[in-house]
Amino acid sequence: MTALHLTGIGHAFLGRTILDRVTLSVGEGELVALVGPSGCGKSTLLHIAAGLVEPRQGHIDRSYTRHSVVFQEPRLLPWATARKNIGLALPATSLGRERQRRIGAAASAAALEEDDLDKYPVQLSGGMKQRTAIARALASEADFLFFDEPFTALDPALRRHMQDIVIRHAGTGQRAGLFITHDMAEAVRIAHRIVVLDRRGGGISGERPVPLKPGQRDDRMIFETVRHFMKEDPLFRHVEEIDERRAG
Ligand SMILES: Nc1ncnc2c1ncn2[C@@H]1O[C@H](COP(=O)(O)OP(=O)(O)O)[C@@H](O)[C@H]1O
Ligand SMILES: [Mg+2]
């Protein structure tokens, strides 16, 4: 079963084609990593998939019920506590104890302490803010999660911890996800399948399944797999490049 299916997506900004004939699907319970060089249109594709941007061409089929997006920046409301920010994603009909239970469960899944929940964003570290944003996505009980390079600003240890949260909560059971990154080690660690977006609006240039399941891969296997993809597989040749249209 497919949770999300994009067909023939095309988009342009100011007359410049960014995406052309992009076809991509994410299965139920699957976590797909979308990689590609900076500036190739990954965020634009995610915004289209999540219904935040109307594409010029193509169509989107969604068989999931509800989605939530984790952006590169936490995007918290500064005047609300972490608890209130997490609760924003809950339906207004969810009240009282049930509401608190869901907020608490999501916060603990994102490794936030009870004390942190009464703090305002300005009192939280960068990592805590991003964990609050993840907790907000988890609390929504969305059955599809979108991630747009959410851990770029975090230090390596915290980044790893956050990846573990993603492995545990997306791409399992009924919950699917699309995770954008330009970090191959991150993609290999968390995804079932890696899809590569062409750097010049050429659509999807290819995809590779990642051996084993997310959560079953050890550091050595991840290291070897990344090395293999980057050194021996031409599909990944341009992934970690910086877009030459914007550079220099
Ligand atoms: N709202 C916009 N208006 C004009 N150009 C945009 C807009 N958003 C993105 N772009 C351009 O589209 C290209 C793809 O952007 P983006 O989807 O953010 O790439 P990525 O996420 O892969 O780095 C870039 O060249 C970017 O400058
Ligand atoms: Mg982006």
Give yes or no for a contact between 67 and 44, defined as CB atoms under 8 angstroms apart: no
Kindly list the strands in the beta sheet with 16-27, ordered across the sheet, starting from the edge strand earlier in the chain. 16-27, 2-13, 57-62
pLDDT band at residue 18 using 50, 70 and 90 as cut-offs? very high
Quick one: which H or E segment has residue 131? Answer: helix 126-139
The tokens of 120 are what? Answer: 């305002």
Answer with the one of 102, 122, 142 that is the final residue of a domain: 142
Residue 42 near ligand 1, beta carbon < 6 Å = yes
Residue having the nearest C-alpha atom to atom 6 of ligand 1 = 13
Q: How far apart are alpha carbons 248 and 97 in whole angstroms?
A: 55
One domain for residues 1 and 119: no
Question: How much of the chain exceeds pLDDT 90, in percent?
Answer: 72
Does 72 fall in a domain? Answer: no
Does 129 fall in a domain? Answer: yes
Residue 242 near ligand 1, beta carbon < 6 Å = no
Give the count of domains, the chain: 2
One domain for residues 188 and 229: yes
pLDDT band at residue 23 using 50, 70 and 90 as cut-offs? very high
Does 35 fall in a domain? Answer: yes
Average pLDDT, the chain: 91
One domain for residues 89 and 56: no
We report the CATH number of the domain holding residue 45 as 3.40.50.300
The residue with tokens 């230090």 is: 155
Ligand 1 atom at minimum distance from 37 CA: 22
pLDDT in tens, 40-60: 999 999 999 999 999 999 999
pLDDT in tens, 211-245: 999 999 999 999 999 999 999 999 998 887 765 55
Residue 40 near ligand 1, beta carbon < 6 Å = yes
One domain for residues 137 and 147: no
Inter-residue long-range contacts of 234-241, CB under 8 Å, 24+ positions, other chains counted: 235/196, 235/205, 235/206, 235/208, 236/35, 236/184, 236/196, 238/36, 238/37, 238/199, 239/35, 239/36, 239/37, 239/182, 239/184, 239/196, 240/37, 240/182, 240/184, 241/37, 241/38, 241/199
Q: Give the amino acid at 190.
A: I
Q: Is residue 107 pLDDT above 50, yes or no? A: yes
Does 61 fall in a domain? Answer: yes
The DSSP code for 241 is P
Residue 35 near ligand 1, beta carbon < 6 Å = no
- Predicted local confidence at residue 231, as pLDDT: 94
Centroid of ligand 2 to alpha carbon of 234 (angstroms): 23
Centroid of ligand 1 to alpha carbon of 189 (angstroms): 26
Does 71 fall in a domain? Answer: no
Answer with the one of 88, 119, 142 that is the final residue of a domain: 142
Which residues are within 5 Å of ligand 2 (an ion), measured at CB? 43
Domain coverage including residue 245: 1-65+143-248
User: Is-above-0.85 flag for pTM?
Assistant: yes
One domain for residues 161 and 214: yes
